[in-house]
């Protein structure tokens, strides 16, 4: 059932939509495009997208469908697992032309989803909504469709979390933007270890408050802590420390090899430039 679908969107898709909106033509008030991803067991995961040039008139829509298919075929060459799952548009509402555009995507995939992103920041928020088109009408009579909202949320891979955390650091005091540089690998490990230590201190403090009956216990938190403790390996503290130290040494070796390869590539580039002159 289409109404039971759940849409999960990766942050890179939102960045691509905003970038396409910022690069739009001066006479374009709305930007549309194709959503790429996977659909399995009622969950549509959107991992990529691209913009489709179009023009909207009072009574019709002109879209460069050949361009859209060419871009889709090129993307399939580098990522065959990404299929068309729907389309996106900027704005905070469904327009009269949406049904025409949705009809085209209904021929490209089964149960396409329609995602809108409010780039006008109405209400100081970038509203994100998802819809499916439900057929309406009577048998042997007039037929129509209605866009019905469905659940939509964000999901991300671990590298995307690192990118989002770096983007968050660009917001300076007073909301002013500032430039930041990506931290080196060891600095990221130290930062992550520091945050983990702080979180563990909060957990220990909460448990001590509950045991001392100074705080009310929370069953949901207790179950989460039990699952966390059960997931830990059954090792002595000394063995766990040795295993962690071994993992750190492996990471340092990988970082060192990466730096050596980077240095060799830079040296080879300079030697090639000198010999070519």
The pLDDT confidence band at residue 141, using thresholds 50, 70 and 90, is low
Between helix 11-22 and helix 158-168 the angle, nearest 10°, is 50
Between helix 237-276 and helix 185-211 the angle, nearest 10°, is 160
Q: How far lies 167's CA from each of 47, 60, 110, 159, 180, in Å?
A: 19, 40, 36, 13, 8
CB contact at 8 A, 86 and 103: no
pLDDT over 90 at 147, yes or no: no
Average pLDDT over residues 199-208: 91
Nearest one of 49, 122, 134 to 88, comparing CA atoms: 49
Report pLDDT for 277: 67
Q: Kindly report, residue by residue over 27-50, the tens digit of the pLDDT.
A: 888 899 999 999 988 899 999 999
Q: Kindly report, residue by residue over 86-135, the tens digit of the pLDDT.
A: 999 998 888 888 888 888 898 888 889 999 998 887 767 788 999 998 87
Phi, psi of 222, rounded to the nearest 5 degrees: -65, -40
What is the three-class DSSP state of 88? Answer: strand
The pLDDT confidence band at residue 1, using thresholds 50, 70 and 90, is very low
């Amino acid at each position: 059932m289409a109404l039971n679908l759940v849409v999960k969107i990766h942050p890179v898709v939102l960045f691509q939509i905003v970038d396409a909106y910022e690069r739009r033509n001066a006479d374009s008030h709305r930007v549309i495009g194709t959503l790429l991803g996977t659909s399995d067991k009622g969950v549509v995961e959107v991992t990529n997208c691209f913009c489709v040039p179009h023009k909207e008139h009072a009574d019709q829509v002109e879209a460069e469908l050949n361009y859209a298919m060419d871009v889709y075929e090129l993307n399939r060459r580098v990522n065959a697992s990404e299929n068309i799952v729907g389309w996106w548009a900027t704005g905070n509402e469904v327009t009269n032309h949406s049904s025409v555009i949705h009809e085209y995507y209904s021929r490209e995939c089964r149960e396409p989803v329609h995602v809108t992103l409010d780039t006008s920041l109405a209400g100081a928020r970038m509203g994100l909504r998802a819809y499916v088109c439900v057929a309406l009408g009577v048998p042997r009579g007039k037929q129509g469709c209605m866009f019905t909202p469905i659940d939509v949320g964000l999901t991300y891979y671990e590298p995307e979390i690192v990118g989002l955390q770096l983007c968050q650091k660009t917001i300076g005091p007073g909301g002013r933007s500032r430039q930041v540089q990506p931290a080196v690998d060891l600095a990221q490990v130290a930062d992550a270890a520091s945050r983990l230590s702080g979180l563990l201190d909060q957990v220990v403090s909460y448990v001590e408050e509950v045991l001392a009956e100074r705080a009310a216990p929370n069953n949901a938190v207790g179950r989460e802590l039990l699952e966390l403790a059960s997931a830990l390996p059954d090792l002595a503290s000394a063995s766990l420390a040795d295993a962690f130290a071994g993992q750190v040494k492996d990471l340092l070796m990988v970082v060192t090899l990466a730096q050596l390869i980077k240095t060799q590539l830079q040296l080879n580039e300079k030697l090639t430039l000198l010999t070519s002159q």
